Structure 1
Amino acid sequence: MSLVDAELAIRAAQAGAEVVRSHHGTAVARFAKSGWDFATTADIEAEQAILGVLRSARPDDAVLAEESGRSGSDRNGRRWLVDPLCGTLNFAVHTMLASVNVALRVGAEVVAAVAVDPFAQEVFWTDGSVARMRHAGADQQLRPSAASGLVDVNLDPPYPNERTFRTARLLADERFVERFRPRVVSTTLALAWVAAGRRAGYVTDGHLRDSVHFAAGIALCAAAGCVVTGLDGQPWHSGRGGLVAAADPGTHAELLALVAAQRDSA
């Protein structure tokens, strides 16, 4: 069922992406959430479009969605994780860096995941075993590469490990800037780019289990053959959490060493 579920996830994410594109350049209303966080009309309507597709095809599945929260029953062990617009602030100021994320978790495993770039109209997808990018109806395999030396870091809160690790401190570490070229796109689309070979790595803090923002990107990286762990090299959903995703073991080891240097000096 994974390939069938992946195609459903693609259809749902594309429905959301179409809504996001339709609102681009317009004066979307903002709805405050907490702190700097807010949703827009595009977030809400994109989520409704995604949920419409999922509920029509899988009425017995549970859903955890960014804007509407939990719905449905977990009795069958299937839960969809929906982030209708990752990069809301980018979108709200007409910056075309955003992602529409849909993932399906069955039990403890994500078996289908999609991240759509609504503006490039690139669909990054996995059925849990292969990872591909679909554009103009054609699929190509995702092939990670560290050749660019580009590493994306997530600077947004929360910072659960602030005392021993902050991504912002990586940018001030001479060893980091000597080896890598940092980027901050402020959307988990960057994780899909690691899977596709457009980024060498990605680093963030946070507790990411069941995260609607990160589930699709992590699954894409894993299926593409990237090295994906938490901040201490442990499984990303355990320990102190966080995420270090890298195109290859060598890059991953270098990033882990830089993260550990912060902890050791704390």
Structure 2
Amino acid sequence: MIDSFTNLDDTGVAAAAARAGADVVRSMYGGRLDRIDKGAGDFATAADLAAEKAILAVLAAARPADAILGEEGGEQGAAESARRWLVDPLCGTLNYAVGNMLVAVNVALRDGAAAVADPFSGEVFATDGTTARELESGTPLAPTPATNLVDVNLDPPFPSAPGFRAVDLLAHPGFVARFRPRVVSTTLALAWVAAGKRAAYVTDGGDLSGSVHFAAGIALCRASGCVVTGVDGEPLGPGGRGILAAADAETHALLLSMIRDQTLQGQRATPSR
């Protein structure tokens, strides 16, 4: 079985690895899971570790000359390689640990193919870096703002506070008038923007373009035609701030305007030193 992975293209490898991780996540769901403390309130479970092991087995068999960065295991493989896989074996660990099925398995080749698997719906969203589709149905990903649902990541830390805090965006009069908030606390929501299940996704942070958590979702959004920038409207990359991924330019511009309004208000409210 492992030998067959060597015949796959990069998209196939990403999808096979994501499926392997998703199989583990699904099989271990509902069982008693040991937690591994990672500090600052973060933790992994035995399912995170087992899923990453399954993903790494696929990548090692299919692309032994590539480097790998795994959320749990860190740097592995051929560290000097220009090709680097980014692996998040279970995005939404806290959800999973309390019996919530909103999780994702993310596998991305930096600046290349990527796949996001939903272990419980069976959906696998994949891109070759140019086009994107849901593999089980073969349906091309088609972003649309029609749902008016905007997923906002409210997890700490809040690096842009007090100028910008994602939670405050939900109280913006323009947001209330146009959108409805959703908080799933997993980057599966980025894949949903690409697939037309969300109008947009917003998260604060630094440069997330090379993050194991976000790289696969970003790749899907870009390949499907979403507008993707930082929350400051600047391109993702070094010095970037978070992610604003929207189904279309109008939705992106509207949310960016609200974020800028909020940022200005936060700056005015901050006492000068």
> Which stretch shifts more, 168-177 or 67-76?
67-76
Matches within 5 A, 1:1-80: 4-80=9-85
- Contact 2:60 2:77 (C-alpha < 8 Å) held by counterparts: no
Q: Describe the superposition over 1:70-97 as per-residue Cα deviations: whole angstroms up to 9, x where unpaired.
A: 1133433100000000000111111110
Q: TM-score, normalised by structure 1?
A: 0.94
1:213 counterpart residue number: 213
How far residue 240 of structure 1 moved from its aligned partner, in angstroms, is 4.2
CA distance in 1, matches of 2:39, 2:161: 20
2:246 counterpart residue number: 246
How far residue 232 of structure 1 moved from its aligned partner, in angstroms, is 1.6
- Contact 1:115 1:217 (C-alpha < 8 Å) held by counterparts: yes
How far residue 211 of structure 1 moved from its aligned partner, in angstroms, is 0.3
- Contact 1:230 1:238 (C-alpha < 8 Å) held by counterparts: no
1:162 counterpart residue number: 161
Task: For residue 190 of structure 1, give the secondary structure of its aligned residue in structure 2.
Answer: helix
Q: Describe the superposition over 1:205-256 as per-residue Cα deviations: whole angstroms up to 9, x where unpaired.
A: 0121320000000000000000000112110224441110000000000010
Task: For residue 111 of structure 1, give the secondary structure of its aligned residue in structure 2.
Answer: coil
CA distance in 2, matches of 1:174, 1:141: 34
- The alignment status of 1:101 with 2:113, answered yes or no, reads no
> Which stretch shifts more, 40-49 or 171-180?
171-180
1:114 counterpart residue number: 115
Task: Give 5+ residue unaligned stretches, structure 1.
Answer: none
Q: Describe the superposition over 1:123-179 as per-residue Cα deviations: whole angstroms up to 9, x where unpaired.
A: 0000001000022xx311000000010000000122221121110111122221111
Residue type of the alignment partner of 1:224: S
Matches within 5 A, 1:115-194: 115-135=116-136, 138-194=137-193
How far residue 28 of structure 1 moved from its aligned partner, in angstroms, is 1.0
- Contact 1:161 1:240 (C-alpha < 8 Å) held by counterparts: no
> Which stretch shifts more, 25-34 or 182-191?
25-34
- Contact 2:209 2:218 (C-alpha < 8 Å) held by counterparts: no
> Which stretch shifts more, 120-129 or 169-178?
169-178
CA distance in 2, matches of 1:54, 1:134: 19
Residue type of the alignment partner of 2:71: E
2:232 counterpart residue number: 232
2:88 counterpart residue number: 83
- Contact 2:149 2:180 (C-alpha < 8 Å) held by counterparts: yes
CA distance in 2, matches of 1:256, 1:53: 39
